[in-house]
Chain A
Amino acid sequence: MHKSLNMTLLLTIIFFYLSGCSHSSGTVIPEEWSGQGNIHIYKVYGMDCPGCHGGVEKQLVDLDGVQAAHADWSRKQVAILLLTDREVAEDEIRAAIERANFTPGERIQ
């Protein structure tokens, strides 16, 4: 039993050591979107891992007029590529983000 406890203590220390800092840099807009102008970027609150991306992207892509969406949980942003010459009401975008259980923040682009 003591051996187990010692191992547990060691693993706990490793856990906190591994829990160093993480960072994010660059932009939420994917490279393949370069040159395409109709892009909106929103702040999104509540995403906590890469697994959250699919949920919000799926809701946004289902909107009429949205060609693609790309979320980044570490930047707390989602980029939305609209079809050429199309606009999507901001309310619709916000409602889609909420259906993914997240909270839309300000539009930053």
Chain B
Amino acid sequence: MKKTIIDNLNIMRSLLILMSMITLAPAGGISVDAGLTPAQNRWMVRYQVRHIKRSHENMNPESVMQTDMHMLNLAYGLRADLTIMIMQSWMDRESDMMNMQSEFSGMGDLNLMAKYRLYRHNSSTNTLGLATTLCLTAPTGEDPFTSDYWSLAPGFYLSYRLNNWALDASTNYRFQDLLDEKPDGFRSGYEFSLSSALARQLVLGTDGRTALAPVLELTGSVSRNDQMPGQAEQNNEVLMLLSPGLKWTYSSLILEFLVQIPILQDLPEGSMEHSPRGLVGMRYMF
């Protein structure tokens, strides 16, 4: 197991170097929320379904937890350089733990986001841009899908376009338990993520209204749950996903499909392993 993790780390390192050599930015992303701010007064509606499966394969009987996450996102270009967004999720979870089946459905937490364009340069062959974001998560979800605390996640997006190639990168850090009073000895959890997406637009037809883009994403996160006083020390969870996908665009409509393959997972003891995930989405801009 340890050797597999080291092998995977070497592969990841090579891929990261390769991707950083190709470019620095995102904007062709599917799970990577890439790209800069849209036009002033423009709306975007985005709906995504993610299928997430985690399991204890080595346990007998096997324990499995499957979650379908439905996400609805509404964004508006308040100004050319400022976008506001609201995101609400709805979850449907089935679990089978040691032959005990259970099902839960309910709303997730509400996310309010703002994206501000810091820099954008367009030329005849390439576009380079940088934006900063702030995401506030309110604990409005239902049990067991709420985090039970307010959190704030500042982040950055870097976007680079070279001819029909798109490269995007994003990073953010989530501060948890912003407003709650914490007992002595409490250690707040956190989440740090770094993502990149490489895409290539292929023009379909002659009117320029349709395009197909193969997308390859690499995402990684390091997170740790809150640790209550007296609780055993929590280890970090490290997860890296390599995700090939396709994005089909017709005018203002985008359909997207992605498979997220875990290539590295270093989990706290007793945690369920991540299986490959599926993502299907639709975006409409008006």
Contacts and interface: CB of A to CB of B under 8 A. Distances in A.
Given A14-B244, A24-B203, A50 B210 contact: yes
B225 interface: no
A86 to B, nearest CB: 23
A5 B11 contact: yes
B36 interface: yes
A55 B11 contact: no
B208 A8 contact: no
Contacts, number: 130
Size category of the binding interface on chain A: 35 or more
Contacts of B38: 55, 101
Contact of A54 (B120, B216, B285): B285
Contacts of B27: 48
Given A11-B244, A45-B122, A48-B27, A73 B208 contact: yes
Interface stretch (B64-72, B90-98, B248-256): B248-256
Given A50-B251, A72-B208, A18 B285 contact: no
A4 interface: yes
B234 interface: no
Contacts of A56: 39
Given A46-B127, A99-B39, A100-B40, 5 more contacts: A11-B244, A18-B202, A48-B127, A53-B208, A101-B81
Interface of A: 1-2, 4-5, 7-8, 11-12, 14-15, 18-20, 22-26, 28, 43, 45-46, 48-51, 53-56, 58-59, 72-76, 98-103, 105
29 contacts: A4-B276, A8-B242, A8-B261, A14-B244, A15-B216, A19-B200, A22-B164, A23-B203, A28-B208, A45-B124, A45-B127, A48-B161, A48-B201, A49-B249, A50-B209, A50-B251, A54-B39, A54-B251, A54-B285, A55-B39, A55-B285, A58-B42, A59-B41, A72-B207, A73-B208, A99-B80, A100-B80, A103-B122, A105-B124
